Chains A and B, each alone.
Chain A
Amino acid sequence: MQAFRYLRPATVEEALGLLEEHGDRARLLAGGTDLVIELRNRWRTPEVVVDLKRIEELRPAIRVEGKRLVITAGTVMGDLEKHPIVLERFPALAEAAAVVGSVQIRNRATLAGNICNGSPAADTTPPLLVYGAEMVIASRTARRRMPIDEFVLGPGKVALGPAEMVTAIELPMDRRIAAAYTRMTRRHGTDLASITLCCGVDSTGTTRLAYGSVGPRAFLVVDESGVLADPKANREKKAPVLAALFAKASPSPTSMRAGPEYRVAMLPVLGARALATALERLGKTA
């Protein structure tokens, strides 16, 4: 690893000051499960590494503020997968967090880091898209919020400036969406996904579907026809509506994880499964 200075701000303000001072020469360290690999391989060579884990304002990791669930930038996957409110209200996010890496990885990897790295295969992006999450972004001069759908741009790219940091990811609690997460991998256990998919339905009949690992970023699509959420509509009626939602998929022809034909063929299969689970969950909350 190339030498760097390790800095440990105690407040968000201090962290933002360091980012302003060092610009692109600084890199934020949250869980480190991606960053430490990038540092070791010299894919990134920052002069300053700014560790966020000692910032008191980022604790407690998960909290309710008004009608929002606030998941701070220090929240690790292991916290999410077990948190009672996440399990009750946002089970698809708990399901996605629970399949990231191994227990060891989930004890370090953060939700904010997963999103900010911009991997098209990030497990937690689809549920955050379906639940309508917002990124809370701070710089020395401003605070802003941005829907995650606008924040995620493409492989390794997110809408975050060099002097900005994500302090939290927030989920609206005044809107009930029953959702389920599923993924396709080559094997059970630790693996990167060939498809990530989350489906959510609400009581108005709107279906929200997000899928990743089959294009440059995860996509959110919405069906307002009511057909997918209609418990009386049969499979034949739902199939063409579901298929149309996957039009954006363009899986890489060179990926070693799965061929493009296989991924495209499996999308509606996973979509139908997640939809069925989401509808079942909607029935239980009604």
Chain B
Amino acid sequence: MTETFHLELTVNGRPRSVDIVASHTLLDVLRDDIGLTGTKECCVVGECGACTVIVDGKPINSCLMLAAEADGADVLTVEGLAQEGRLDALQQAFLETGAAQCGFCIPGQLMAARALLERSPHPTAEEINEALAGNLCRCAGYEQIRAAVLAAAGEVRS
């Protein structure tokens, strides 16, 4: 028995219409049906944040959201950050600060940070810690990641 669902959503500004398996998560659909593999699968229990995407303006764990729940939603993934071949300010700051080591957690870190800067354009270090508390970095690059977010927000590193 395979129950299907017809899903319509916007991903990185582009309308998508896909027939999916109802039991598949948004993460499954982004990676396997739509082919956007920037969003990473890791813990699949909502603890590591590698699968973070922004749905209707809010960061969420795409491993814990059924794709069907995103019907009609506006989804932003890491592939939607760069515009016309140019990295956005956050990506550029991560690059310059050396925030990415192995890089696996970075798409999730970027999306959680992007959502933070949208709701709080000049966050304190404390706010950054809280906003990124759900994003684990196996390489423990937390200092550089926080510095990158501060830099992208136009703040001087304290």
Contacts and interface: CB of A to CB of B under 8 A. Distances in A.
A36 interface: yes
A39 B61 CA distance: 16
B61 A29 contact: no
A159 to B, nearest CB: 27
Contacts of A116: none
B102 interface: no
A4 B68 contact: no
Given A3-B2, A6-B3, A105 B65 contact: no
B66 A108 contact: no
Interface in B1-29: 1-3, 5, 21-25
A101 B46 contact: yes
B96 interface: no
A105 B52 CA distance: 10
Contact of B45 (A4, A37, A103): A37
A104 B23 contact: no
B64 A33 contact: yes
B65 A36 contact: yes
Interface size class, chain A:
20 to 34
Contacts of B71: 8
Contact of A105 (B24, B25, B129, B134): B134
Contacts of A39: 23
A257 interface: no
Interface residues of B, number: 35
Given A36-B64, A36-B66, A189-B133, A107 B59 contact: yes
Which of A102, A105, A189 has the most CB atoms of chain B within a 10 A radius of its CB?
A: A102
A280 to B, nearest CB: 22
Nearest to B25: A36
A189 B135 CA distance: 10
Given A3-B3, A3-B22, A6-B22, A108 B134 contact: no
Interface string A161-190: 000000000000000000000000000011
Given A104-B61, A190-B133, A32 B69 contact: yes
Given A104-B112, A105-B134, A1 B23 contact: yes
Contacts of A36: 25, 63-66
Given A32-B69, A37-B45, A107 B64 contact: no
28 contacts: A1-B23, A3-B1, A3-B3, A3-B23, A4-B3, A6-B3, A6-B23, A6-B68, A8-B68, A32-B65, A33-B46, A36-B63, A37-B45, A39-B23, A40-B44, A101-B46, A102-B49, A103-B112, A103-B116, A103-B131, A104-B46, A104-B49, A104-B52, A104-B61, A108-B65, A189-B129, A190-B47, A190-B134
Interface of B: 1-3, 5, 21-25, 44-47, 49, 52, 58-61, 63-66, 68-69, 71, 112, 115-116, 129-131, 133-135
